[in-house]
A and B are shown apart, each in its own frame.
Chain A
């Protein structure tokens, strides 16, 4: 019996009982009909039988429900497909520790919005201590030296700043996408760095913004693209991976 099960059901208190619990709100006032509607929704979600255990009016014309029930769906573990991040997610503490031990100096990051883009929301969310969604920005990391150039920075200014700050990585945020401005600006930026610095001396080039396709790195001449919903922790973890851990491993 040591064989691994590959087909499983949810577990309530007995193997195979398939029990789950959900809560949701329907935009209807609380009455018998609303409760019936909740059970119907649960049935359509595959819960059968569905037990409505709690219904409570909230606000005007809304009702909150808690439903327990048995689902008939099965999960085949062999069929589960996961898109793996190609670098491990580290905590701020771990990022700092790796940089301190392996680099023995601060990791220098230069960030900017380039072109006419004045939307610093993205770069600020990643760099400012304030951060986003409860996660602190890169400024918060003791072992990172962050220089945020802000909005409407020209490409030559950015290259110069990267040189002065001895940047290990350059982060560029692009929100405005009219006439593919984000793509043009990014190509211009990567070309300028290629021209100004020899291959081994170039900082890691990273762009981010809500409308980028994360697979276009080659075409845009950058090392990494981050899309919507990226958090500072992911960027920091990637920096450590790309600049330290993967380099050590391959050398």
Chain B
């Protein structure tokens, strides 16, 4: 019996072991497949950039051309670098342009040509990864110079106008008003684009497109704010959807600090093919690990579709799976922003005590992870006065249970995209609670055998039961049969399946090679 909840260490260990057992076949699957997005990420690391006049990135044109000639199963690095040598050009983007015009043919090189292509592709990709390393070192320097936020949890605020040039002053104003982390929410439906748009963008649907240029602009603006405010202001975007590996790569190259990255979100909520998702997820997390980026997982989403009391254990199960996949991809505990949310119906008796039990359970199960605590959305009705009270209780639970990252809830959730005044009122709410009760987690120890302890034990018990059931049938089957978030997602269906290939015996990926080598 340990910690504030008196959890049984043997049961906790069993939960982790079951998560490992459920996750391992998925890892094996990820290790034996590639996707078009993984290959595009490799070429982005090797220096392909820009887009054609229709806005289709050159990296897409190049991968499509290679796949048309030699297929995907052996990786695109060798055919690309072999063609580069044959054409006698040094610039991969130029090769992509020629390939798009149909003036280059790709072959799978053999013998000496293969050895040369292997060497030159490793060199090119290593240069991209060195750039990520430099950006990571730069972050470390800036954090040292400007400092981390004084308080925990870090205050996380969303900005999203659709126009990056509107987002920038809003983000800077939010930082000045106390935000430690700025998330630029993406345009609706970007998850389902099988390419990353290019350039600075000024139009989006309920969000701003994630592009390399938008990343760069916002990071530069927040560096300015960090200097002004004397604390390092972090930037967040999304590695979800069909382009997880590329988003992760661009985030590493532009020194983003956190990325939304969930192991199952795309499958369950966007109907993306499960294999595609798991392969993309593993590569993207390897890149995040290298870049020192904190991932934020999406367990809050389960609770917006399913009941937050009845399905509380599915959050725990997903957290354990996300932890297993993240560790396997090389992410340390301090980079695991495992998600959970304050989504119990406020009309349920003792709802606050239930929330405390669930939040503390996550805290105790993952003591070294900077947990991401998500505000109420499902039971925000448009009654902004009640909403502000609910957000206050959400903030209080965050303070009492020592959460790492607190996404600021808006009383106008479900009414409008937050106004300037909404954000100000929301931050005032957070400041009041953290100012008045920021250290309460030190004193808050639930009574032994009381309501909160019992509830936490029960949720952990149900999580172990569910993991046992998954273990009997494999995670892919569980997903196919609708175990999570009620959606049935078979492994041979869903978007992006045609961009998946099993590795041939001679599959070669210089990026994975470098990322899996111990630094």
Contact = CB atoms under 8 A, between A and B. Distances in A.
A25 B419 contact: yes
A121 B421 contact: no
B270 A58 contact: no
Contact of A134 (B177, B271, B413): B413
B487 interface: yes
Interface residues of A, number: 26
B414 A134 contact: yes
Interface residues of B, number: 27
B420 A25 contact: yes
A124 B304 contact: no
Given A121-B205, A130-B269, A60 B173 contact: yes
B86 interface: no
B424 A59 contact: yes
A58 B420 contact: yes
Interface string B466-497: 00000000000000000001110000000100
Contacts of A237: none
Contact of A136 (B271, B305, B421): B305
Interface in B363-412: 377-378, 380
Interface in A46-67: 56, 58-60, 62, 64
Contacts of B420: 25, 58-59, 62, 64
Interface in B76-106: none
B248 interface: no
B30 interface: no
A140 B176 CA distance: 40
Contacts of A56: 424
A7 interface: no
Interface string B185-210: 00011001000000000000110000
A23 B384 CA distance: 12
A128 B269 contact: yes
A23 B176 CA distance: 23
B487 A121 contact: no
For B414, B421, B487, which residue has the most chain A Cβ atoms within 10 angstroms? B421
B187 to A, nearest CB: 8
Interface string A127-152: 01110111010011010000010100
A59 B176 contact: yes
A211 to B, nearest CB: 14
Contacts of B305: 129, 136, 140
A54 B378 CA distance: 30
A136 B306 CA distance: 11
A34 to B, nearest CB: 14
B268 interface: yes
A169 to B, nearest CB: 19
A186 interface: no
A120 interface: yes
B414 A128 contact: no
A79 to B, nearest CB: 26
A129 B269 contact: yes
Contact of A142 (B268, B270, B486): B486
Given A64-B424, A121-B205, A150 B419 contact: no
A125 interface: yes
A145 to B, nearest CB: 11
A24 B419 CA distance: 10
Given A128-B270, A129-B269, A139-B271, A58 B192 contact: no
A124 B192 contact: yes
Contacts of B487: 129, 139
Interface of B: 173, 176-177, 188-189, 192, 205-206, 268-271, 304-305, 377-378, 380, 413-414, 419-421, 424, 485-487, 495
30 contacts: A25-B419, A25-B420, A56-B424, A58-B420, A59-B173, A59-B176, A59-B420, A60-B176, A64-B421, A64-B424, A120-B189, A120-B192, A121-B188, A121-B189, A128-B269, A129-B268, A129-B269, A129-B270, A129-B487, A130-B269, A130-B270, A132-B188, A133-B414, A134-B304, A134-B378, A134-B413, A134-B414, A136-B305, A139-B487, A150-B495
The 3 closest A-B pairs by CB, nearest first: A58-B424, A121-B189, A59-B173
Given A125-B189, A132-B188, 14 more contacts: A58-B420, A59-B173, A59-B176, A64-B421, A128-B269, A129-B268, A129-B305, A129-B487, A130-B270, A134-B304, A134-B413, A139-B487, A142-B486, A150-B192
